[in-house]
Amino acid sequence: MPSRILILTNRVPYPLHDGGALAMDALIRGYHQAGWQVHVLAMNTSRHPVAADKLSTLYPQIAGFHTVAMDNNIRPAALLKNLLFSREPEHASRFRSDLFAEKLSSLLTKIQPQVVQLESPFLAGYIPLIRQVVPCKVVYRAHNIESQIWLRLAQAAAGPRAAYLRNLARRMTVFEQKLWQEADLIAAITEADARVMQAQHLATPVVVVPFGIAAPEQTFQFPPLPLRLYHIGAMDWLPNREALQWFLQEVWPKLYAQLPELSFHFAGRAMPDVLKERLPAGAFCAGEVGDAASFISDKHLLVVPLRSGSGIRVKTLEGMAAGKLVISTDVGMQGIDAEAGRQYLRANTSEEFMAQIAWAAAHTEEVIRISGSAAEFLRERYDARKIMQAFLPALQS
């Protein structure tokens, strides 16, 4: 009989336009391909709703795909109440639901899974219920370290906003460390995140399970010049939005003044109006795109100007796999063990971004060489099947 797993997600992993959805989808498919009986219970949230007709078509190949409607909208009154009268991060309260708990209890009783996997720290509140209903291994799939994200955002902010973000980072630190202790196994998405967890001297084992891709065995055709830059990512994730705003304000106008033959194209879910309007010359906003592969197909260079965040940048891996040259900050490459100058170009300041992009515009052959080296690196280090094969023994021990 195949092993049984119930995967809990705090959103429906659809559409596959952002790193979180892609990472959840990769393991759902990975378990199924490995012969496991896979059940998924997803929150269909008000902030990322998926229509009923689309829900019925998702994951027909797995044993069961279940959803519960969830209102997780941010409300100022609830935010203030949490700030004044609670010690936990406000995010956690938005993912508590009696209906979800009832559905979870029913599925646990019916399926009797050997493994229950949590795809978000904000599902930690359901661990006592899981323990009460069924004996199983509780796995926390850590897509990032949330407290790091908020701390880095606080460091880049000022005034009352910085104070609030520091407070949130402290709450998240306590909340996450409690979850790390309660889980039976942690599947960290990067080595860097795993080291942070292991530094807490946890009794809980921590294994590294990076995002895996099916990297194509092919030589990519370099798109016709002139050079086209791009960025793609979900804009309801604050680090993405702040990074893009910084690049558009601090880098692109000066770069375009020097190299007006270049163009910069960006896309993503929940694109705010401020990024759609009054764009600097040479910059183009595509909004949310239905097919990310088509959007990037005629582009040459992926710009990753992240200055906060944690985990791994799935869109960076996808860009490298597609033969694009990546120019990124250190934060943007966190969790990707590529070598600067060989598989990507490093830039952390506006001056460094301008210099690296100008160099790329003048050295097409080197751009092709670095892009090819990056695609080969992806095939060797981030093959989805190899990653899954290495992970499964930790679940069964």
Write the CATH number of the domain with boundaries 228-381.
3.40.50.2000
Q: Is the pLDDT of residue 1 over 80?
A: no
Q: Which of 188-202, 206-220, 344-358 has the lowest mean pLDDT?
A: 206-220
Both tokens of 156, joined, read 């880049």
Let me know: does 393 contact 362? Beta carbons within 8 Å. Answer: no
Instruction: Pick 222 or 43 by higher pLDDT.
Output: 43
Q: Where would I find the beta strands (DSSP E) of the chain?
A: 4-9, 37-45, 64-70, 115-118, 137-142, 185-188, 206-208, 228-232, 263-267, 283-287, 301-304, 325-328, 345-346
Contacts of 193 (CB under 8 A, 6+ apart): 142, 144, 145, 310, 311, 335
Are residues 119 and 8 in contact, defined by beta-carbon separation less than 8 angstroms? yes
DSSP-derived 3-state class of residue 385? helix
4-212+383-396 topology per CATH:
Rossmann fold (3.40.50)
pLDDT tens, 49-102? 999 999 999 999 999 999 999 999 988 888 888 888 888 998 888 999 999 999
Structural contact between residues 220 and 322, judged by C-beta atoms closer than 8 angstroms? yes
pLDDT at 79: 84
- For the chain, residues classed under CATH 3.40.50.2000 are 4-212+383-396, 228-381
pLDDT bracket for residue 122 (50, 70, 90) = very high
Q: Which residue has the tokens 């190299």?
A: 259
The chain-wide mean pLDDT, for the chain, equals 92
Note the pLDDT of residue 219.
58
pLDDT of residue 146: 92
Mind listing the pLDDT tens digit for each residue in 264-317? 999 998 899 988 888 999 999 999 998 888 999 999 999 999 988 766 788 899
> Position 206: which residue type?
V
DSSP string covering 178-197: HHHHH-SEEEESSHHHHHHH
> Which residues fall within 8 angstroms of residue 254, CB to CB, at 6 or more apart?
350, 354
pLDDT band at 42 (very low <50, low <70, confident <90, very high): very high
Mean local confidence (pLDDT), 358-366: 95
DSSP reduced 3-state for 271: coil
Local confidence band at 199 (pLDDT 50, 70, 90 cut-offs): very high
